Structure 1
Amino acid sequence: MIRLFHVPLSPFCRKVRLSLAEKKLEVELVEERYWEKSTDFLRRNPAGKVPVLKMDGKILTESAAICEYIEEMHPTPVLMPNDPEGRYEVRRLVNWFDDKFHNEVTANLLYERVNKKVMGAGYPESRAIKAGAKAVKYHLDYMGWLLDQRRWLAGNAMSLADFAAAAHLSSLDYISDVDWNRNENVREWYAKIKSRPAFRSLLADNVPGFPPPAHYADLDF
């Protein structure tokens, strides 16, 4: 049995969940309060971060590396292009969302609104929330520009880049922090990826104390 130690709204965990589901790999989800830094958890990952995947008798950490491991072990359906240029573009965009988007948007919105309360780490900072709300517009515009030229974010086939983006945006959508009317290309892209069977478990998430908006699990928004 594959086991994933995760937090439901973590975009890094969601990216791994999407990869596993797209490959039709059954997984046991174990919620991990990683901020409590339990001894058992730190044995699994001394970095004290989720996701942590137990698969093939191995303990795997770091979401991008986990997703590429899954891709290499289960290459169909394909989520990484065969050519070096295509793989570069996917990796560039995965890093874009997991680094730049995360630092400018996710950390300022999701972490301030939800994580702080769950972790008992104080109150949201209005300055951070304002910065995140401003930055997300820039990122949606950039995604729209990419989708003007391509069917999917990294090219003409769906890839890990789309899962990375969808993982972050779905987490923000859970707290109604995405303006889907800002860019029609992005809205249509998200509707396509949201409708995939791999997305079902994400749409079923429910975080105690933070009920999702009515549109969150609605495939037609």
Structure 2
Amino acid sequence: MPTSQKPPEKMMFQLNLRRRGISDQAVLRAMEEIPRDQFVAAADRADAWRDSALGIACGQTISQPFVVAYMTEQLQLRRHHRVLEIGTGSGYQAAILSRLCRQVLTIERYRTLADSARARLEKLRCDNVEVMLGDGFDIPAGAGDFDRIIVTAAMEQIPDALAQRLEPEGVLIAPVGPHQGTQTLVRLVRTGGGFERKDLVDVRFVPALPGIAREL
């Protein structure tokens, strides 16, 4: 019998993230701890550890692992941070965030996705995540402000009302651009004089839409 075997998919998963430039050890640990195969459709579990986006319910997607890791790394999270995520989807990004900060509020417009994500997160004991069915363009005033905000669907522009929910020195990451086509991942930092914007990399996300979906 051969004495060597192909490395397990999870090992290749981590190696690929490192090769592509992810260096934050806390982010890499979180990516290793959270089982991505639990967030994809049963038919896609054989492909769960590949660096590719996969379809989920309601016409949405679970982002490719590199994009999840890159966006998370760009947030520069600390344990005391409170984070807002717009676009829960499968719940995978929220699960990663849960390992790196104090509290996550994640908002999803599709009830089916919100309910299934909540169940997954509870099963994995991501107890510091709250899943809310709601409109990502209309955050309830009672939700307060946030140290970090991450948007996981494409916005044609970042609403000022959303940027204003950042605490001082807070960071917002969002894909900005046309709904159909390529967007640019934007990093917005709230400073004493306003906001500093930095364009990062080109990405492709499903559109961020206002309101709560009437179906699904």
Structure number with higher helix proportion: 1
TM-score, normalising length: structure 2:
0.30
TM-score, normalising length: structure 1:
0.30
Bigger relative contact order (CA 8 A; separation at least 6): 1
Structure number with higher strand proportion: 2
